[in-house]
Every structure is written in structure tokens, then in C-alpha cells.
Amino acid sequence: MEKYHFIGIGGDGMSALAKAFWQQRRPLQGSNIESNSRTSELNRLGIPIAVGHDPSHLGDANTVVYSSAISKDNVEMQAASRRGLRILHRQQVLAELVDAHRTIGVAGTHGKTTTAVMAATLLKQTGVDPSYLLGAGCAGLCGHAHWGNGEALVLEVDESDGRFLQFQPALAVITSVGLDHLNHYENQRAIDEGFRQFVDQSKEAILCADDAGCQRLLERFSDALSYGLNPAADLVAEGVVQERFQTFFSLRFRGKQLGRAKLPFPGLHNVYNAQAALLARWRFGVPFERMLPLLSSFQLPKRRFEVLADDGVVVVDDYAHLPEQVLVNLKAIRSGWRRGRVVALFQPHRFSRMLHLAEAFGPVFEDADVVGVTDIYPAFEAPIPGVTGQSVFDEVTKHHPQACFLPRPKSVTDFLKQTIRSGDFVIGFGAGDLSRLLRRFAAPPNRGATRESHVAVCA
């Protein structure tokens, strides 16, 4: 019997695949550099997980699964190679699952996690037991992975290393084609080409008509379904209005008015995400009129505009780590909260990303009244000379001179305690560990919500 060993099992994508394997009753085990919430969740299912990497952790496994975060010189990878074990990249395993299902493959440089969650939610709410493998958990779906009894599979597709070209889904959903992953792609043209190939080898496609990169794809794939505010799109959102945590809009499909819809969270970007999910479920056989009332019960994935406190001070944790993601979230806040200051904290993510994109973060905080920038969260990357939190902060201060540099956790904590006052809206951006500091601050005993003075701490 085949027994699997997952190297780096605590990653979002790897842990989702591991959970799906467990639900299929496939024998598996794993290792991870450290314990985290994902390894704890898998441990509770009874999956053995070793902390750290050592050849002995392979045990009697005959197949090794790894992700792009694991280098070829990893000691477990080297031991597996010496022993002649079957070694599979995570994407190779996923490709087999895609081929065996009617798969909705959701890709894009931003928006794919929320869109995939919405698509899986609509399938579940309309009588299907879908399988899904997502990049973040969602309370409405009881986690980030499920192996269902239906033929539908919703897969969040990672384009970062180009391996997504191993997939040939029944339906490709592209939310955006922006500038990212420049440690793999040479430039925007190379990114465009990767997505072009992905769409070309998919049976059908859904593209965002308002995204510049998707517009370039629509020029090549005119038969693709499209969505957005653009009146030429197939599914058009009109009259978008935001009121605090709610967003209202009307939908029109190919000239036919469908009605008014409500989302229980803010932001035009989430209107786009909902449109993509609606089109995907419509293409899988459910009319729009049946789905519109369901939007009001949607839940966002974890760390996507996650409200930690709303009791005089609003505290939100958000995974945004690209310039356009930060920009749209701040605009959403400004649209829905017209009173009080907006305080934005930003934790840059990965040295390789900041090497190419630090300058692009400079102007994106224009809708914030107070800005704090932390040091870079490395995500296990080695430092790159000259690429630091200070260098990112220097770009931000060109546009926001009063920004504060908060290089250490204590400086972030002090900044929050001494700066925040009643009526403020605090949002933290980043894919790293800033979330832990925000959650600690959001606990009522730690928050000075009645302070009336602004004392910036930039040590």
C-alpha cells in the first residue's frame, strides 16, 4: 500500500492536500520546520507529524510529497532520493485530482482565495457536496479542505512558480493578472504568457473585464465569460453602495436585470469575487436568481478583512500583501467609514517580493491617516542585501511623510497602545505574523480605546 510523507505539511496548500488525503483514508504522515495551527489541526485528526527535518522522519513511506517551499537540498528530500522513493511535487498530485473531477480552477495574483471560497460555498448551498482545496480556512466551509461525494472540485491554483500549467481544469477562473512572483517570472509579459497558456489548456474560462491583465486575455479568448463593472461584460455589477460592513449592488447578465444583491462585507473587490463565483456556479447549472439571496450569508476566509474588534475601535486583520490589495482595502474603508481616523499597519512579505515591488507600495497608503511599517517577514527566505523593512519604509515616506517605522514587535505593540484612540479604524496588512500582535491588541484588556491624544511611537 502506498504511504505518503508530506515535507512541509504545515503550509496552507500542503495541509489542505493532507486533509483531503486523510478524508480519502490514504495512509500519510508529515514533517514541518515548526509547529503551527495547521500541524495542530492535522494532529487532531490523528496524522503523525514530526517537527523539524531529519531523514529518520521518512519512516516506511514510499512516496514523498513536497511543495515549492522545500528546496532540493532538504535532508529529507535528499534521503528520499537516495532511497529511490517516489517523489512528487504537490502540483503533480493536484493535477491527478483535477483530471478525475469537474474542476473549477481559480487563479490570479490576488482575489483567488476569496473567489474559491465563494464558489465552494455556492456549490454547497445549492445541493452539491463539492471537494475543495483552498489557501485559507473559512468558517462557512468548516476549514480549508474537504473531500466531497460530488464530481465538482474547487481548487485554488497557485501560479507563483509556473507549475499551474500542469492543470487542465474544466473551468478556469482568472481574477487578476498583476505583477508578482518576479523571483520566477522575468516580467509582466512572462506572467501574461503563463496565464494565457493556463486559459488555453482549460475547457472554459471566466475573466475579470475590469482587470488590465485579464483584458489582455479577453483579447485572445473572446469566447470567455466576463464580469465586472464594464458594461460590455457578460455579468455586470451596477449601483455599488457600501455601508460599513455591507455592500449592495445590482446585477445584469447579458442585458437581463437579475436583481439587487447584498454582501455582508465591504469592498468593490469582493463584488468582483462574488461575480466570478456566481458565473462559475451558473456554468455548473444553477440559475442566478436562485443564488442571489445566498450572497448575504457568505463568510470571508480567515484573515480576509477579519474583524477582530468593533467596540469603539475597529480592528481588522487582512492578508493583503500586494500593493493593489492594500489600496482596494483602504478605499473600501474610506467608502464605508466616513468618520474617524484610518490607521494602517503594513508588514512587508518576503525579501524577493520587496526586491521588485517595494517602490510600488509607496503611494498605496493615501487613504490612511496614520501608517506604520514593520520589518520584512521573510517566510523562510534568506535576506537579500539592501532589501529591508527600512527600504520599504523609505518608499512609503515619500508619499506619507508622517509614517512610522516599527522594526520590532515591541515597537508595534507600543505604537498601538499609545497611538490608537476612540473612533479609530485599525487595519493590519500582511501575510506574516503581524496578525498575532493585532489579535493581542484587540483583546479588550489590552486596548486603550478611550485615549483622546495621538502620541506616535516610532522607536
Mean pLDDT of 240-255: 93
Residues 339 and 402 in one domain: yes
Judgement on whether residues 345 and 218 belong to the same structural domain of the protein: no
Q: Residue 453's pLDDT is what? A: 32
Q: In the prediction, which pLDDT does 457 show?
A: 38
Assess if residue 457 is contained within a domain. Answer: no
What integer best gives the mean pLDDT of the chain?
90
pLDDT attached to residue 459: 34
Of 270, 297, 324, the residue at which a domain comes to its end is 297
Mean pLDDT over 209-221 rounds to 95
Mean pLDDT computed over 42-56 = 94
Percent of the chain with pLDDT over 90: 68
The CATH number given to whatever domain includes residue 181 is 3.40.1190.10
pLDDT for 39 equals: 93
**Helical spans, DSSP H, in 204-293:** 212-220, 268-283, 288-291
Q: Is residue 364 domain-shared with residue 434, that is, in the same domain?
A: yes
Claim to verify: residue 346 and residue 373 sit in the same structural domain: yes
- Which pLDDT value is given to residue 450? 38
List the domain range (segments joined by +) for residue 407. Answer: 306-446
C-alpha grid cell for residue 69? 517551499
User: CA–CA separation, 9 vs 33, rounded Å?
Assistant: 9
Give a yes or no: residue 198 inside a domain. Answer: yes
Number of domains in the chain: 3
Asked if pLDDT for residue 281 goes beyond 90, the answer is yes
With respect to residue 72, please indicate whether it lies within any of the assigned structural domains.
Answer: yes
Q: Are residues 431 and 318 in the same domain?
A: yes
| Domain closes at, from 297, 327, 358 | 297
Return the beta strands (E) in 152-266 as ranges: 152-156, 171-174, 204-208, 225-228, 235-243, 246-253, 256-263
Residues 293 and 154 in one domain: yes
* pLDDT for residue 209: 96
User: Are 275 and 147 in the same domain?
Assistant: yes
Residues 186 and 230 in one domain: yes
Q: What span, in angstroms and rounded, lies between the C-alpha atoms of 60 and 81?
A: 14
Check whether 448 has a pLDDT greater than 70. Answer: no
Task: Determine the average pLDDT of the residues in 340-353.
Answer: 93
337 and 240 together in one domain: no
For residues 312 and 423, is the Cβ–Cβ distance under 8 A? Answer: yes
**Average of pLDDT values for 6-10?**
95
User: Residue 14 maps to which CATH number?
Assistant: 3.40.50.720
In a domain, 429, yes or no: yes
Mean pLDDT of 303-324: 90
The per-residue pLDDT for range 95-139, each reduced to its tens digit, is 888 888 899 999 998 889 999 999 999 999 999 999 999 988 888
Whether residue 95 is contained in a domain is answered as no
Q: Specify the pTM.
A: 0.83
Judgement on whether residues 228 and 181 belong to the same structural domain of the protein: yes
Strand order in the sheet with 86-89: 49-51, 28-32, 4-7, 63-66, 86-89
Neighbours of 286 (CB within 10 A): 18
In a domain, 107, yes or no: yes
Which letter does DSSP use for residue 285 in this model? Answer: T
> H or E element: which one contains 333?
helix 323-336
Domain termination site, one of 274, 297, 320: 297
- Residue 181, pLDDT above cutoff 80: no
* Alpha-carbon torsion angle 186, 187, 192, 194, nearest 10: 10
Q: What is the mean pLDDT of residues 30-50?
A: 92
Regarding whether 165 and 248 lie in a shared domain, the answer is yes
Q: What are phi and psi of 30, to 5 degrees?
A: -165, 175
* Within-domain flag for 348: yes
- Tell me how far apart the alpha carbons of residues 411 and 111 are, in angstroms, rounded to a whole number: 31
**Same domain flag for 378 and 257:** no
What torsion do the CA atoms of 87, 90, 92, 94 make, to the nearest 10 degrees? 140
pLDDT band at 174 (very low <50, low <70, confident <90, very high): very high
The rounded distance, in Å, linking the Cα atoms of 307 and 439 is: 10
DSSP string over 392-412:
HHHHHHTT-TT-EEE-SHHHH
Look at residue 178 in the predicted model and tell me its pLDDT. 81
Q: Is residue 210 part of a domain?
A: yes
Q: Are 349 and 431 in contact (CB under 8 A)?
A: yes
